[in-house]
Amino acid sequence: MREKRERLWTKQFWMLLVITLLSGGAGQMTVPLVAKYALDLGADLTLASTAAGLMSMVSLFVCPFAGSIADRVSRKWILIFANLGYAICLFGHAFCASVTALIVMRLLTGVFFSVISVTNVAFSANFIRKERMGEGLGYVALASIVAQAYGPMAGLGLLDAGGFGASFVGAGLACIVCVFVIFLMPSQEEPKIKKERKKVSVKDLYAVEFTAFMLMAMLFSSGNGLVSTYLKLIAEERAIANISLFFTVYSLFMIFLRPFTGKIVDQRGVFVILIPSFLFAAAGMIFVGLGTSLGMMLAAGAFKALGQGSGTPSLQAHCVKTFDKERAGVATSTIMIGQNVGNALAPIIGSFFVGSVGYRGMFCGAGAIILLLGFVLVLVQYRTEKRKLR
C-alpha cells in the first residue's frame, strides 16, 4: 500500500496541484467581477451577462482543437505558452475603458483559458497510474475546486482594496508564477504520439461515446455559471453581507469530499456518484433562489459542493480513465465542451428570466431542470454502457 501511494504522491504530482491552484485561481479571480465591471462601463444586464459568459463561449469552439493539440504536441510547452498569453490578457482587463474593449479581451482570454483547461488535465494524466486515475484526477479536481473558492474571494478582496485594476493585475501575476512552476516540471513522461497520425479526424476532436456525459457536464456547469454571475448581485439586492463565505463553505466541503469520490469512481464506477450529485446540485440552486439570509446561502454552497463539485470531476476522471493516455486530450475536451456550454449560455439565458420571474424563479426553475434532465441522461448512459458489456 505504501508503494502504491508513493506512485501517486510524487514531487511531480504535488507540482501539478500547485499549477492547478495558480492557473485556476487566476481565472476565478475575474469571474465574479466581469458582470459588475461591464455594468460600471455602461452595459445593461443582458450585455453584462454576455460579457461574463464570453470566455466559456469561446472555449466551446476552441476546446476540441485544444484536445487534439494536447494529444499531439508537448503538453508542458503548451501550458507554458498558454499561461503566458493568459497572463497578458488578464493584465489587459485593467486597461479596458469600454464595454467593447472588455468583450474583445474576454474573447482573447477564452482562447487561452480553453487551452489551459484541457491541457492541464491531459498533462496531469501523464503522471498518474491508470488504476488510480479517478483518485489522482480527483485531487487535481480538488485543487481546481479550491481555486474556484479562493479565486473569487481573492478577486473580491482586491476589488475592495484597490479596485478592478488590482484584481486583474493580481490574476495576471498568479499566471506568471504558474509558468515558472510548469517550467520546472519534467516532460519525459509525455505520451508518444504516433507519427502516422498526421491528419485530424472527428475522433480527434470529439468523443461521440461520451455525449451523454458531456450533456451532464453542461447541466452541472449551468448551475455554476448562474451562481458565479449572479451571486454578488443577489446578495446586494437582498442585503446579504459576507457573501464570499459561500465560496469558503464550498471549498471546505470539497476538501473533505473529493478524495472519497475519486476512490469511489476507481472502485465502484461513476454512476454511483452521479445520482446523488444531481440531487444535491438541484438543491443548491433552489437554496440560492430562496435564500434570504447568509445561512441559507451557505447551505446552498454546501449542496453545490456535494453536487456539481463532485459530479463534474467524476465525469472527467471516468472519461480519461476509459481512454488511454494518448487520447486524454480529446476525453478531457469532450467534457469541457459541456462545461463551456453551460457556463456560457446559462447566464445569458438566465438574464431573460430574471426580468420576468426574478432571481428566485430563475434559480428554482434551473434546479428543477438540472434534476430532471440529469436523471434522464444518467439512465441513458447507464443502459448504453451496460449493453456494451453484454
Mean pLDDT of the chain: 82
Distance (Å, rounded) from C-alpha 310 to C-alpha 145?
A: 10
If you classify domain 2-186+206-389 with CATH, what class do you get?
mainly alpha
Grid coordinates representing 217?
A: 457536464
Number of Cβ within 10 Å of residue 369's Cβ equals: 14
Task: Tell me the Cα Rg of the chain.
Answer: 20
- What mean pLDDT comes out for the span 31-40? 80
- pLDDT tier at 276, thresholds 50, 70, 90: very high
What does DSSP assign to residue 161?
H
Q: Is a pLDDT exceeding 70 seen at residue 5? A: no
Q: 195 Cβ partners below 8 Å, 6+ apart?
A: none
Which among 132, 208, 176 is positioned nearest to 22, based on CA atoms? 176
Q: What's the length of the chain?
A: 390
Rounded-to-integer distance, Cα 375 and Cα 290, Å: 23
- Is 213 within 8 Å of 321 (Cβ atoms)? no
pLDDT digits (tens, 9 = 90+) for 158-189: 887 888 888 888 889 999 999 999 999 876 55
Stretch 372-383: mean pLDDT, rounded? 91
Mind listing the pLDDT tens digit for each residue in 217-263? 999 989 888 887 788 888 888 888 888 788 788 878 877 777 777 77
Q: Which three cell numbers stand for residue 16?
A: 501539478
Instruction: Provide the CB-side half-sphere exposure for 281 (13 A, CA).
Output: 32
**Tell me, what's the pLDDT at 202?**
66
**CA-to-CA distance for 343 and 54, rounded, in angstroms?**
9
Model confidence at 1, pLDDT cuts 50, 70, 90, reads very low
Per-residue pLDDT, 179: 93
Ranges 190-199, 215-224, 294-303: which has the least confidence: 190-199
Helix locations, the chain, DSSP H: 2-8, 11-40, 45-70, 75-93, 99-125, 133-184, 202-205, 211-237, 245-268, 271-290, 294-306, 308-322, 328-389
Which is nearest to 18 in space by CA: 118, 142, 135, 108? 142
Q: What angle do CA 7, 309, 320 make, to 5 degrees?
A: 45
Measured CA to CA, the distance from residue 213 to residue 273 in angstroms comes to 13
pTM for this one?
A: 0.72
Q: Which of 19-33, 228-242, 275-289 has the highest mean pLDDT?
A: 275-289
The residue that leads in pLDDT, 367 or 250, is: 367
310: cell is: 463532485
Give the whole-angstrom CA distance, residue 167 versus residue 234: 21
225-253: buried (b, 16+ CB within 10 Å) or exposed (e) per residue? Answer: bbbbbbbbbbbeebebeebbebbbbbbeb
**pLDDT given for residue 311 in this prediction:** 87
pLDDT higher than 80, residue 76 = yes
Segment among 3-12, 130-139, 146-155, 379-388 with least mean pLDDT: 3-12
DSSP SS3 for 292: coil
Nine-digit cell string for 184: 520546472
- Confidence check: pLDDT of 302 > 50: yes
State the Cα–Cα distance between residues 289 and 282, nearest whole angstrom. Answer: 11
Q: What is the pLDDT of residue 30?
A: 82
Q: What is the dihedral of CA 281, 287, 288, 289, to 10 degrees?
A: 110
